[in-house]
């Protein structure tokens, strides 16, 4: 009886939009690992072309010149899978919608686009019956989207707490280890390639806020956009803040925090004091880490390189393999899950602990006066310590129990108006 030999599956045409640091590494992986990737997918992956703004610009030698094209629409129209690593909102959004309408699966690393208008893409992909994957949009090589969206789909996620921006983590780490001021640490990060020439998106928390919105949407089955995230960057953090944090057993980190309570969903990004015994306090340099708290699974930690060409390309190509398998074998990846539609809480509804430093006149009864005003506003003091005096002033360090942001803001305003108070030096939240 003759043995039936199945015909090999046809190759899948892959379009790559963008050829920067990440795009170059994606192309390298697709070209260098073609045989292995074909075996994993069940069909060859053909890099059909790479869309760029200027095809004549010098490129890495790994990029074949004949793959470069400025005709991005034609490239998208002929593809089975479209990879977008261009960044920005437009023309990326329009091109991905065009790809979806033509029946292509899409893979993107564009956190800004997903945080601003992800639902439009998800709805279009669902209507067209194609996949949309975006593992690389949140934390580079760290697998976090898939675990939250799929591995924890049967659990109840209470909280996601993470360092999702490598630039700010590097800057704060340098301030802690070298005593640098923020501006000097940012300059060093730029020189080493960890920060862009314009670091605003990083140091002001915009990048982290976009990632927080994506994570919150996945974890809580509720649509959250970047505009829903309360955001505060690290530009107000001083070397003195970082030194004081170490003295009190903390590290300063820019955290993305998403949590759900009985009232709704709270999502915020801000610098915070993390106790040194917490795993996030030990995350150094430009690394990222995300701490997930789920009912049944308990605490989970995801750690690794959150940026860079090769790490991000690893996540992108992993998504390409998943999408390609579905093209060959049938099936479809997860769709957007928004059944919960939890209410989004305002920034002042967040509940956390605080550490407040203030300079006061070195007079009898000042501690009691400050403590009285704090208590009058419904904020409970955990610890209070005094240092000094120096030239007639003393420094007070207050650490509170958990309190609402609105209560703390009213407390600070009242304390600032006390006659003996010379200056409120610092107000930092305590998380973890």
Only one residue has tokens 């957007």, namely: 336
Q: What is the largest CA-CA distance in the chain?
A: 103
| DSSP annotation of 181 | -
Please say whether the dihedral angle defined by the alpha carbons of residues 83, 89, 92 and 98, taken in this order, is positive or negative: positive
Measure CA 237 to chain center: 20
How many Cβ atoms sit within 10 Å of the Cβ of residue 178?
A: 11
- Would you call 253 a catalytic residue per the annotation? no
> What Rg, from alpha-carbon coordinates, does the chain have?
25
Measure CA 203 to chain center: 13
| DSSP annotation of 277 | T
How many Cβ atoms sit within 10 Å of the Cβ of residue 192?
A: 10
Phi, psi of 356 (to 5 degrees): -120, 130
CB 34 within 8 A of CB 62: no
Please say whether the dihedral angle defined by the alpha carbons of residues 70, 76, 77 and 81, taken in this order, is positive or negative: positive
**H/E element, 136:** helix 136-139
Could you say which of 211, 253, 284, 332 is catalytic?
Answer: 211
How many Cβ atoms sit within 10 Å of the Cβ of residue 35?
A: 9
* Both tokens assigned to 384: 């209070």
**Residue 299, beta-bridge partner list:** 293
Only one residue has tokens 């043995």, namely: 3
Query: Which of 354, 347, 357 lies closest to 377 in space, CA to CA?
Result: 354
* Both tokens assigned to 418: 């006390």
> Pseudo-torsion of CA 260, 262, 268, 270, nearest 10°?
-100
b/e per residue 260-292 (b: at least 16 CB within 10 A): beeeebbbbbbbbbbeeebebbebeebbbbbbb
Question: Which amino acids are annotated catalytic?
Answer: 211
């Amino acid at each position: 009886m003759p043995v039936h030999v199945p015909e090999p599956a046809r190759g899948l045409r892959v379009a790559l939009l963008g050829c920067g640091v990440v795009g170059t590494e994606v192309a390298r992986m697709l070209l260098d690992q073609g045989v292995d990737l074909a075996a994993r997918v069940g069909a060859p992956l053909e890099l059909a072309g790479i869309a760029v703004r200027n095809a004549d610009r010098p490129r890495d030698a790994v990029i074949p010149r004949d793959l470069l094209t400025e005709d991005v629409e034609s490239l998208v129209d002929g593809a089975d899978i479209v990879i977008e690593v261009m960044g920005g909102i437009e023309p990326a959004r329009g091109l991905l919608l065009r790809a979806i309408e033509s029946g292509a699966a899409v893979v993107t690393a564009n956190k800004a686009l997903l945080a601003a208008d992800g639902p439009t893409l998800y709805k279009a992909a669902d209507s067209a019956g194609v996949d949309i994957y975006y593992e690389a949009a949140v934390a580079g090589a760290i697998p976090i989207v898939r675990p939250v969206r799929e591995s924890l789909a049967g659990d109840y996620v209470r909280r996601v707490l993470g360092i999702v921006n490598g630039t700010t983590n590097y800057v704060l780490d340098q301030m802690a280890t070298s005593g640098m001021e923020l501006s000097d640490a940012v300059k060093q990060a730029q020189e080493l390639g960890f920060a862009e020439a314009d670091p605003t998106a990083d140091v002001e928390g915009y990048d982290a806020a976009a990632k927080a919105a994506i994570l919150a949407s996945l974890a809580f089955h509720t649509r959250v956009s970047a505009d829903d995230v309360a955001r505060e960057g690290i530009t107000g953090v001083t070397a003195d803040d970082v030194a004081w944090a170490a003295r009190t057993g903390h590290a300063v980190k820019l955290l993305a925090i998403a949590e759900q309570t009985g009232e709704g969903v709270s999502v915020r990004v801000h610098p915070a004091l993390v106790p040194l015994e917490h795993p996030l306090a030990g995350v150094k340099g430009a690394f990222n880490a995300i701490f997930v708290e789920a009912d049944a699974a308990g605490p989970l930690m995801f750690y690794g390189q959150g940026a860079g060409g090769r790490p991000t390309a690893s996540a992108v190509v992993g998504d390409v393999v998943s999408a390609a398998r579905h093209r060959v074998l049938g099936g479809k990846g997860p769709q957007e899950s928004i059944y919960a539609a939890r209410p989004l809480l305002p920034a002042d509804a967040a509940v956390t602990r605080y550490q407040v430093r203030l300079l006061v006149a070195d007079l009898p009864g000042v501690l009691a006066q400050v403590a009285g005003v704090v208590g009058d506003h419904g904020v409970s003091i955990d610890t209070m310590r005094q240092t000094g005096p120096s030239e007639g002033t003393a420094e007070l360090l207050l650490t509170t129990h958990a309190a609402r942001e609105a209560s703390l803001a009213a407390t600070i305003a009242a304390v600032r108006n006390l006659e003996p108070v010379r200056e409120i030096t610092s107000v930092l939240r305590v998380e973890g």
